[in-house]
Amino acid sequence: MSKSYPLEIENVGDDTYIVMSRGHHDPDEFMRKVREEGYDWPLGMPTHRWVKRTPANDGDHTCWYNFVEEGTRGAFPATYAHEAYGDDRYEIASTVAEGAKHE
């Protein structure tokens, strides 16, 4: 049985804009929630990844999120959006993808 995760946006970037939510969420719903929560950064199309959280020992961070293969011990599904500009921005990429569906 797969676990269900609520759509909760976390800012996980350091000097790069990155937002994440545990669970594989619909990309459009994810981005609506990101914008509702006030993140107006230029972000790319959300992707579904498998992530493992590991402790950080550098004194500046509490943990690191590492992309791993599905099935890796301790991994969880996540929806990620990274900093992006130009045609890679979500608002542009999603419009292009939607247009391609109707051709």
Residue type present at position 6: P
**In this structure, what is the dihedral angle of CA atoms 23, 24, 26, 28, given to the nearest 10 degrees?**
80
Closest by CA position to 80, among listed 35, 40, 24, 3: 24
Q: What is the pLDDT of residues 35-92, one digit of tens each?
A: 999 999 999 999 999 999 999 888 888 899 999 999 999 999 999 999 999 999 998 8
Which SS3 state, helix, strand or coil, does residue 3 take? coil
Closest by CA position to 29, among listed 79, 93, 96, 99: 79
pTM of the model: 0.85
